[in-house]
Structure 1
Amino acid sequence: MSDPIILAIDTATEACSVAVNGVAECQVEANAHSQILLPMISRVLQRAGLVLGDLDAIACGVGPGGFTGVRIGVSTAQALAMARGLPVYPVSSLQALAAATVQPSVLAALDARKGEVYAAVYVQDERTGLPVLQGEERVCPPGAVAWPHEGGYWGLGSAWPLYHSEWQQDNVLGWTEDAYPQADAVLRLALARHLGGDEGCRPDQLEPHYIRPFLPQDQQK
């Protein structure tokens, strides 16, 4: 049996990305996701020789990340899935970030604005090669992040250029400045879940993963 055809998107950060069947596109442009996402989906499907009717599922990075970006991705995934009666796979954007590197142990951290970060520790599963969450994802001030002190880790995400001096530890091997969650990683994570028996969820069950409460003043974030 062939693998399902899954269209994956992630818009949780400045990077807007789409992937399907080995074809991917990413554009880093803040505050433009609402204009570039649908044309990007059309281009990627065309390059893959596919149309929306060929899809078996939609995968979506659901955050944490920018409130507006996350909402754009989730609403687009819902609309496409509802139109075709497809299941959806919600994927943590922090897990997608961790899946974008060959490093086996990752300290994933995204700038959450307001002097806070979205942070999580992921360690690669030896059998699947996919990142597994250690503990929980959280939002907090950078000084309140409790990174592990044992083992060797690599830092990823937009918070590292801002706060790496606060996170200097002997077991931090280094960090990557321009790392973003990518749709191709969202796709790999969703496909692994499908092959493991996860059938996804209904489009109306897809929800943003903000971690912290959404407030009216965050409308334009």
Structure 2
Amino acid sequence: MGLPRFLAMDTATEACSVAVSTSAGVVEAFIVAANAHSRLLLPMVQQVLDRAGVTLADIGAIACGVGPGGFTGVRIGVSTAQALAMARGLPVYPVSSLQALAATVPQPLVLAALDARKGEVYTGVFGQDAQGIPRLRGAEKVCAPEAVDWPDEGQWWGLGTGWHAYHARWQGPGILGWSGDSFPRAGAVLRLAQARCQAGDRGILPALLEPHYIRPSLPEET
């Protein structure tokens, strides 16, 4: 039996994106529009379904970028994925938004960093496996840019809005280059979920899907 048709989304950053798998590839919608995810996400879901020529009844699984990222954006994506999956009785595949960011470029070694505000960044170190899937080395974390400890071996590519804000502090002989205007994309979330499904991962129940904040949200800090 082949892979189910996936619907994927990521709203963890200023970018909002949705993708669906088809027999011909992936159909994706992507827009950078901060603070507009609640208004844009569901219309974008319908847009990619229409472009792909399918309906929600044709979807067999849902993948969602669960952060780290903006608390409101992450919650919008997670709650929407849960609602759609519950309505259809579908499995859900949570995907790290940092891993999805690393999967947007064909670089074997990626230093992913998203601006976390408050003078901090969300970071993760990723190396591609034999199938081209970025695998986390160590743990994802949130910290001040000065506390980031990038590996000093190999040739690395910096990726994400954290690099736009703090690239001057992270330069070194091991940095091939960096892109500060890159975001996690639903197409990458979809590809990562498909790879897990192909490897035997059956996903989780929608009720078990949770945001991956790393640091507490504002209500939890008070």
The alignment yields a C-alpha RMSD, in angstroms, of: 1.2
Corresponding residue for residue 207 of structure 1: 210
Corresponding residue for residue 98 of structure 1: 102
Uncovered stretches (5+) of structure 2, i.e. residues with no partner: none
Corresponding residue for residue 66 of structure 1: 70
The AA in structure 1 aligned to 2:148 is V
Matches within 5 A, 1:52-131: 52-125=56-129, 127-131=130-134
Larger deviation, residues 161-170 vs 93-102:
161-170
Identity among equivalent positions (%) equals: 67
Corresponding residue for residue 185 of structure 1: 188
Q: Are positions 1:170 and 2:173 aligned together?
A: yes
The AA in structure 2 aligned to 1:58 is I
Deviations 1:111-155 (A, max 9, x none): 000000000100000x21100000000000000000000100000
Q: 1:110 Cα shift? A: 0.1
Q: 1:216 Cα shift? A: 2.2
Query: Aligned equivalents of 2:56 and 2:146: distance in 1?
Result: 45
The AA in structure 2 aligned to 1:105 is L
Query: Aligned equivalents of 2:38 and 2:220: distance in 1?
Result: 19
Query: Aligned equivalents of 1:159 and 1:40: distance in 2?
Result: 26
Runs of 4+ in 1 over 3 A off after TM superposition: none
Corresponding residue for residue 201 of structure 2: 198
Corresponding residue for residue 7 of structure 1: 7
The AA in structure 1 aligned to 2:8 is A
User: What is the TM-score normalised by the length of structure 2?
Assistant: 0.96
Deviations 1:54-99 (A, max 9, x none): 1101000000000000000000000000000000000000000000
* Alignment partner of 2:139 out of 136, 139, 155: 136
Uncovered stretches (5+) of structure 1, i.e. residues with no partner: none
The AA in structure 1 aligned to 2:168 is S
Query: Aligned equivalents of 1:31 and 1:66: distance in 2?
Result: 10
- Counting matched residue pairs gives 218
